[in-house]
Structure 1
């Protein structure tokens, strides 16, 4: 179940503490959005954020928190101890009170740096590392390295109850794992009304195999073959050029190229959500609590999504949207068709429910407030 709503509080009366977030930085997708929003929201609770990027790239260019200090410390390899030493020196020089790492790669050096600098470590579990990609050996190696790196962490942050349970199953005591749900800002849009004719389906993601875009494309083709008037707006970059070619080949094979708009990366997700009537996330596996689902809810978009990991902790079936089994083209197509042509579910009710649920449980302010309480407990005030 979601955490109880956080009552807005006045800024912390204590002196501001400095916290270093150690991140990858090569993309700007869900986890990076969390990092960016925390940097914007935590100062009102007494914590100033700095960033150290071990794979610097897009994050440094497009983040909203451009005023926040960002140190580029590229790792020369997975076991770059020199990077850990440089981080430790930075922590001491800049007087950071705590290190907060967000990925298996960043926590590998972040944990060593925190130990050498004599400060506590917090690790943010955004998704199940052992089920992150289709490469099983890489998943296994990353999960083992992650577990070794966080064995002495002061606290683990799980973005969903399912991830908290996973970390406890791996041997971490319940007291060391805190559930802090992701959160996003409210999106100021007028109440949504059911489309009268053509529907625009929407998806936003860093497109990679586990996001299930092929399932959505096949569902789109099936719907259009049955005369359902739907098009697709796909927002975001592809993880690799090879995967993009693979997906575009499927689009051509199914003959739905004229029904899909590929926008590429955007910094203004709210502007894209305004152009959608129904949000779809057909993930196959590997989800924590998807930020883009929360953003769709904030925009009042009903959601059709796969019943995987943390997704049902945000979307209540037939209340805020519909949940389907992963990798099922038929179920996904039927769920979309039920909303588009059926009359059993009221579109406006789903929209209002989604927006209200976001405001009650998944705001960016409540995310920062909950995390600030964890920091305060660790630092002893």
Structure 2
């Protein structure tokens, strides 16, 4: 059926032709004049509900009521390469291919699939493009297409990279974010077809500069202090957009919501996905004295995660939390793998004492107060030795020093700014790793210990139950409970395997496979392909 430039195909309405040059109204619900923009317009709505009409949108007679669902108007700039129109739930049948050609006229080839009838609808032959203009469906073929150009927006720890310029290696070391470096190394060794561009913003950078690590290019952008969070990261958006316009990526990968990366990616206009590194909404619920910045980060989650085409996170707990609270379009569980060197640790725990290792920030949220009080209570009955990887931080450090006594405090061994090799050396000599955290999505220290074969005593919180199997490679306890922590440590020190620093061999092999860098790299590449196949690609 065709009337007044409208084709009815199945349950879709397709408007073919050019818009008027000088529209008086820009709202397609109120007038037949479409917004001025050269090219074709694809317009459709679902007429399956009551009140919808089969008359064309913008009927000149104006006698029929307009459909209650706002039609999706998609400007298709022409001439240009093959494009896929943005996905819309208001189009009952999703277009599969759109081709534009010609300087004066645009041609539209629309394949509409009717699942019930099992047939395809085509426009009349006179409206189809010439045969030589018809290209393949815009899906990737790694054998014939160029690599996917991916831009990371991240707080990447460049100071930890040995290949970084000396002026960056001399910066104060921040959180190592080892999972990002592991993913980078995995793709450098076995590239599945990616061109990686890593954009990092920091005020600590001495200047803005670029450098390469293999085929990956780093863009270190120096920012002005006091302009990021106060501007709700619009300053970051401006800075990142300048870089991405030169890169012209196919896809943007935002690492975390804490530093505005997810919100910036949602504003830029490129297809994007978000990787959750910490659930600040959950953190602010559990920690009574969350800082104003943490509360801002929780607000950023509410603004950015529902807009993401895909959210990746580490644990089953985080997947359920994100789906229930933020309802993004898709959520994918991808475990962040520890450094491969932890899979090769040669265990040699001390036979004459029980060496406890804690690898976490010295903070209430990490349960540091519970750990020190439990060790202080057990010290008279067990030969315990405590190593804390990370410096003591005030005011909690002063409070615990005065409470537990200077003698006990002096026996704690604090390690600062350890490299992954040095952390692996500490785990090689450890009897147990202790992680009594109150709130944590998936602590990397637990994964490193699990991969190294160190028994773990940890809280039953977040993703930790995904890695610690009771009585096989560790013990679990309720978070925030000092008495339970004391009982769990006493039980582990008398366990037939754990007291010797050993775990069940089958569980160790299973966890090393589950937390392998190869698995993480494959899953992230699948996430990129998912976004590229479901979100239209266009340059803002």
TM-score range, shorter chain: 0.7 to 0.9
Does 1:187 find its partner at 2:343? yes
Given that residues 257 and 276 in structure 2 are in contact (C-alpha distance below 8 angstroms), is that contact kept between their aligned partners in structure 1? Answer: no
1:375 is aligned, of 502, 514, 528, to 528
**Which has the larger displacement, 97-106 or 276-285?**
97-106
Does 1:196 find its partner at 2:344? no
Separation in 2, partners of 1:74, 1:249? 41
What is the match of residue 257 of structure 2? 104
What is the match of residue 60 of structure 2? none
Separation in 1, partners of 2:254, 2:327? 17
Give 5+ residue unaligned stretches, structure 1.
Answer: 1-11, 59-64
Does 1:360 find its partner at 2:509? no
- TM-superposed CA distance for 1:264, in Å, is 1.2
What is the match of residue 274 of structure 2? 123
What is the match of residue 152 of structure 2? 21
Give 5+ residue unaligned stretches, structure 2.
Answer: 1-141, 158-172, 206-211, 535-540
- TM-superposed CA distance for 1:182, in Å, is 1.8
What is the match of residue 308 of structure 1? 461
Q: Deviations over 1:23-70 (max 9, x none)?
A: 23586447x222222222234222243332334659xxxxxx966514
Which is higher, the Rg of structure 1 or of structure 2? 2
Q: Deviations over 1:93-132 (max 9, x none)?
A: 02322222223243x355445543x311211112321132
What is the match of residue 160 of structure 1? 315
| Corresponding residue SS for 1:45 | coil
Separation in 1, partners of 2:489, 2:458? 10
Counting only pairs closer than 5 Å after superposition, residues 117-266 of structure 1 correspond to structure 2 as 118-132=269-283, 134=287, 135-136=289-290, 138=292, 139-172=294-327, 176-184=330-338, 185=340, 186-190=342-346, 192=347, 195-226=350-381, 228-237=382-391, 240-252=393-405, 255-266=407-418
Given that residues 278 and 302 in structure 1 are in contact (C-alpha distance below 8 angstroms), is that contact kept between their aligned partners in structure 2? Answer: yes
What is the match of residue 291 of structure 1? 444
What is the match of residue 419 of structure 2? 267
| Corresponding residue SS for 1:200 | strand
Given that residues 25 and 56 in structure 1 are in contact (C-alpha distance below 8 angstroms), is that contact kept between their aligned partners in structure 2? Answer: no
1:350 is aligned, of 479, 499, 503, to 503
Over the residues paired in the alignment, what is the CA RMSD in angstroms? 2.9
Structure 1 pair 221/105, CA: closer, same or farther in 2 (3 Å)?
Answer: closer
Structure 1 pair 246/265, CA: closer, same or farther in 2 (3 Å)?
Answer: farther
Separation in 2, partners of 1:73, 1:353? 48
Separation in 1, partners of 2:314, 2:437? 17
User: What is the TM-score of this pair, normalised by structure 1?
Assistant: 0.83
| Corresponding residue SS for 2:503 | helix
1:328 is aligned, of 462, 473, 481, to 481
- TM-superposed CA distance for 1:74, in Å, is 3.2
Looking at both structures, which has the greater relative contact order when contacts are Cα pairs under 8 Å and sequence separation is at least 6?
1
Given that residues 296 and 302 in structure 1 are in contact (C-alpha distance below 8 angstroms), is that contact kept between their aligned partners in structure 2? Answer: yes
What is the match of residue 5 of structure 1? none
| Corresponding residue SS for 1:335 | helix
Separation in 1, partners of 2:203, 2:401? 28
Given that residues 263 and 300 in structure 2 are in contact (C-alpha distance below 8 angstroms), is that contact kept between their aligned partners in structure 1? Answer: no
